[in-house]
Chains A and B, each alone.
Chain A
């Protein structure tokens, strides 16, 4: 009976995550069967598709490379820098995660328009430089994502057994030690984190759009908005699926590698080295570029006109309210759903557990822009009128209030769930896997139901991870643009959408005030995440 409940629950979540895609790709496939030329949309054969494929690939590869370039010194500072400086470095490293890529792109666009940069631009206007926009978009995106490399590599460095490090130093020259000892142990973290950064760059729409980089996400959004069929958009997005899988493969390998190697020494005091001190110097130079420069740009755009804040808050009150409320509602809800799934799988045989995890995690490969199109196509039908379009009023005030709010916010919550639930499930699964299963079994042997065992044993043990995941989710939901722009309903828009619009219109003071507001909100969530992780370490 209990097993049946966990199976039904898992099946429901899997159905929710997969059905929109099944519906979209089913329709795309049947349309392509009747018009075989549609299959060509999925292949980079025509000049446009070739250029999109090349641009997307370049953007991902360069973003991964730049993230490594920026992240490695910071990781050295985090893991081998002076101990007293480490909490400050960790905080400064985490802050760029609170800056959505669209805001980072706006800030850097503004920096390139400062007087010295503008004189360069005027030179460029006379003699244009052959710099493709992807070469500009890649480092800008890397300034947002380098913390992923920094934290992943720092964790891997901390996990290195001290004996191996000492042996490596005795082994010969530092170069030889790096080649023979450090790289073989650290490359999974390096490649995994760089792959994740590349995948995030591949899926990003707002920043490449602002920086004129023509990638799959941007072009699919534009073509779909210009009246292109959803089926064609789905087929056109297929190469992104392959690229995403290719980029995330090292990440999955890294997770498995470190599980096999073990993280036993992650909590010990790590040594201070010269490389760490050098890393600290480079890290502070990098922090000037991110997050200090973008924040500085927004502050300078305000030109001390602080009254802009109340003005934009008043003008965008519903968006501000929606952002706070929807993130606060969605983050704990999705965390609880993921926890319930992970707890339910604890009693399953390993193979079934892995199959369920794979089914729940795989939708992460679908690009967000395709997800948005799939969600709109799937939910815009009578059966889902409660969340898409709304049910007719009944005249019963409380019921009408529920109907109205479901119609306004329901699709946004579903959008967040479809986009982030796979990630949350993977993160909590990894955290729960490291726990001792015997504790749960012991509780159940003493007569506790699986639900009670999960509530009283699993939840307290996972509390730091749960808090961290909820904080991360809050920040992700608050800054989400790609899916929101497609699924938002009248009256249910969140802050990133008007910011994205105002950026195009060029209302700099308003953009600055709203961007700082969004940054402050997400930074609070990221600070919560750091707090939770520190609590975990203690």
Chain B
């Protein structure tokens, strides 16, 4: 009986220890650790991070964001931890939250030698952030939709699409970057009027861009606005149709930054160098179809992306105004969205 009991205790201890970090054999465990806060979909980020661990010899502990709170969740965690930062590097799938964190003084500048060939439009002058992979906002619609959806945001307000349009929650992820861009380009009043009209037309506010594309692909909704990667994910189902944006497309770069007072600054710089390396961006572009490289020298195969990449060169460089525009539009927008 006693033997059985001892075996039980041993079993519990063994299973518990099996879960613990395997760093016990490495006396330098803490010296090669780096903590990455990552809002890029983990299905795409994981293989890249695994490769980076092999390349750099770093032990990368990753914290992913949930889709429901994309980017904003991690950004708020960084804010909550500002007195005792836990993370070293923030790899965001969008830009706005990085800009806001920078303005709040929560990032530390680092000009990575790997980012020399990244165009100026996709990096901060002071090195507080550097772009990694760009996505565009696109209007998508179901192939079988009877109402003709023009590649134009205003079509989404038409009577034929009442209650049949979806967008991701504009308070999170690339949705918030999109709103900030519209506020910069259209002005706050026009942008708010647009969202008010969308709401009046029964727009569905969904938890993520992938859900928008998926619901359209499944014919649960007829049209919506989403990101290029989510469009490509559903294009393979041959159900959704791609519509290019009118005139000036909205391009949203992913961003990489080092957090201020990062506990492992040296390792953070090492990780940022590896993340911003051209080979990493190539890997990202190849695995996350729909991502346009910041570097023109990286080749892309999809014709739609080639068109967008060409347009990206002439896109207005207004990212510096996004944070200010977001500050002004955030609350009135939330009021509009929360109204039933």
B20 & A405 in contact (Cβ 8 Å cutoff): yes
Quick one: which of B23, B169, B207 contacts A401, CB cutoff 8 A?
A: B23
| Binary per-residue interface labels of chain B (201-243) against chain A in the complex, 1 for a CB within 8 Å, 0 otherwise | 0001011101100100011111000000000010000000000
B24 & A122 in contact (Cβ 8 Å cutoff): no
A397 & B36 in contact (Cβ 8 Å cutoff): no
A300 part of interface (Cβ distance < 8 Å): no
B174 part of interface (Cβ distance < 8 Å): no
Q: How far is the CA of A497 from the CA of B46 in the complex (A)?
A: 14
A405 & B21 in contact (Cβ 8 Å cutoff): yes
B218 & A121 in contact (Cβ 8 Å cutoff): yes
- Greatest chain B CB density within 10 A among A212, A393, A491, A505 is at A505
| Binary per-residue interface labels of chain A (473-491) against chain B in the complex, 1 for a CB within 8 Å, 0 otherwise | 0000000000001001111
B247 part of interface (Cβ distance < 8 Å): no
A227 part of interface (Cβ distance < 8 Å): yes
A80 part of interface (Cβ distance < 8 Å): no
A493 & B63 in contact (Cβ 8 Å cutoff): yes
B24 & A401 in contact (Cβ 8 Å cutoff): yes
Stretch at the interface among A30-38, A146-154, A275-283, A319-327: A319-327
Q: How far is the CA of A381 from the CA of B43 in the complex (A)?
A: 32
A499: min CB distance to chain B, Å: 11
Q: How far is the CA of A377 from the CA of B204 in the complex (A)?
A: 33
Residues of B within 8 A of A408 (CB): 21, 61
Residues of A within 8 A of B80 (CB): 376-377, 380
B72 & A209 in contact (Cβ 8 Å cutoff): no
Residues of B within 8 A of A218 (CB): 68
A161 part of interface (Cβ distance < 8 Å): no
A401-B208 in contact given A125-B222, A315-B46, A385-B84 (Cβ < 8 Å): no
A498 part of interface (Cβ distance < 8 Å): yes
Residues of B within 8 A of A519 (CB): none
Quick one: which of B19, B86, B204, B221 contacts A489, CB cutoff 8 A?
A: B86
B21 & A401 in contact (Cβ 8 Å cutoff): yes
A225 & B20 in contact (Cβ 8 Å cutoff): no
A256 part of interface (Cβ distance < 8 Å): no
Quick one: which of B64, B72, B164 contacts A225, CB cutoff 8 A?
A: B72
Residues of B within 8 A of A388 (CB): 86
Q: How far is the CA of A260 from the CA of B53 in the complex (A)?
A: 62
B168: min CB distance to chain A, Å: 10
B24 & A397 in contact (Cβ 8 Å cutoff): yes
Q: How far is the CA of A280 from the CA of B89 in the complex (A)?
A: 57
Quick one: which of A118, A225, A404, A409 contacts B29, CB cutoff 8 A?
A: A404
A227-B72 in contact given A325-B19, A401-B21 (Cβ < 8 Å): yes
Quick one: which of A47, A227, A488, A493 contacts B76, CB cutoff 8 A?
A: A227
B3 part of interface (Cβ distance < 8 Å): no
A221-B67 in contact given A125-B221, A506-B210 (Cβ < 8 Å): no
A498-B42 in contact given A380-B84, A404-B21 (Cβ < 8 Å): yes
Residues of A within 8 A of B75 (CB): 227
Q: How far is the CA of A497 from the CA of B29 in the complex (A)?
A: 26
Quick one: which of B43, B61, B220 contacts A125, CB cutoff 8 A?
A: B220
Q: How far is the CA of A329 from the CA of B169 in the complex (A)?
A: 38
Q: How far is the CA of A405 from the CA of B29 in the complex (A)?
A: 11
B87 part of interface (Cβ distance < 8 Å): yes
A287: min CB distance to chain B, Å: 28
B36 & A380 in contact (Cβ 8 Å cutoff): no
Residues of B within 8 A of A382 (CB): 84
A51-B221 in contact given A224-B76, A225-B69, A497-B66 (Cβ < 8 Å): no
- Greatest chain A CB density within 10 A among B20, B62, B207 is at B20
List residues of B (108-155) whose CB comes within 8 Å of A's CBs. Answer: none
- Count how many chain B residues have C-beta atoms less than 8 Å from C-beta atoms of the other chain: 64
Residues of A within 8 A of B208 (CB): 504-505
| Binary per-residue interface labels of chain B (184-216) against chain A in the complex, 1 for a CB within 8 Å, 0 otherwise | 000000000000000000001011101100100
Nearest to A226 among chain B residues (CB) is B171
A226 & B69 in contact (Cβ 8 Å cutoff): yes
Quick one: which of B31, B68, B210 contacts A221, CB cutoff 8 A?
A: B68
B68 & A209 in contact (Cβ 8 Å cutoff): yes
Residues of A within 8 A of B30 (CB): 393, 400, 403-404
A48 part of interface (Cβ distance < 8 Å): yes
A506 & B27 in contact (Cβ 8 Å cutoff): no
Q: How far is the CA of A490 from the CA of B17 in the complex (A)?
A: 18
A491-B172 in contact given A51-B340, A227-B72, A505-B41 (Cβ < 8 Å): no
Q: How far is the CA of A382 from the CA of B66 in the complex (A)?
A: 27
B75: min CB distance to chain A, Å: 8
Residues of A within 8 A of B211 (CB): 504, 506
Q: How far is the CA of A15 from the CA of B233 in the complex (A)?
A: 49
Q: How far is the CA of A131 from the CA of B29 in the complex (A)?
A: 55
| Binary per-residue interface labels of chain B (264-295) against chain A in the complex, 1 for a CB within 8 Å, 0 otherwise | 00000000000000000000000000000000
Q: How far is the CA of A489 from the CA of B35 in the complex (A)?
A: 10
Q: How far is the CA of A224 from the CA of B72 in the complex (A)?
A: 9
| Binary per-residue interface labels of chain B (58-83) against chain A in the complex, 1 for a CB within 8 Å, 0 otherwise | 00011110111100110110011100
Residues of A within 8 A of B15 (CB): 324-325, 328-329
List residues of A (488-538) whose CB comes within 8 Å of B's CBs. Answer: 488-491, 493, 497-498, 500-502, 504-507, 510
A389-B18 in contact given A222-B169, A397-B29, A505-B210 (Cβ < 8 Å): no
A128 part of interface (Cβ distance < 8 Å): yes
A332 part of interface (Cβ distance < 8 Å): yes
A504 & B87 in contact (Cβ 8 Å cutoff): no
A176 part of interface (Cβ distance < 8 Å): no
B154: min CB distance to chain A, Å: 22
A400-B87 in contact given A325-B20, A329-B16, A493-B63 (Cβ < 8 Å): no
B310 part of interface (Cβ distance < 8 Å): no
A47 & B24 in contact (Cβ 8 Å cutoff): no
A-B pairs with beta carbons under 8 Å apart, 13 shown: A47-B340, A121-B219, A222-B69, A222-B172, A226-B72, A393-B29, A397-B27, A397-B29, A405-B20, A490-B63, A497-B64, A501-B66, A504-B68
Q: Top 4 A-B pairs ranked by shortest CB distance?
A: A325-B19, A225-B69, A504-B67, A393-B30
18 additional A-B pairs beyond A393-B31, A490-B63, A498-B64, beta carbons within 8 Å, are A51-B340, A121-B218, A121-B220, A125-B220, A222-B68, A226-B72, A226-B172, A315-B47, A326-B19, A390-B86, A393-B29, A393-B30, A398-B24, A404-B21, A490-B37, A491-B62, A498-B42, A501-B67
Which B residues fall within an 8 A CB radius of A? 12, 15-21, 23-24, 27, 29-31, 33, 35-37, 41-43, 46-47, 61-64, 66-69, 72-73, 75-76, 79-81, 84, 86-87, 163-164, 169, 171-172, 204, 206-208, 210-211, 214, 218-222, 233, 263, 334, 338-340
Which A residues fall within an 8 A CB radius of B? 47-48, 51, 113, 118, 121-122, 124-125, 128, 209, 212, 218, 221-222, 224-227, 315, 321-322, 324-326, 328-329, 332, 376-377, 380-382, 385, 388-390, 393, 397-398, 400-401, 403-405, 408-409, 485, 488-491, 493, 497-498, 500-502, 504-507, 510
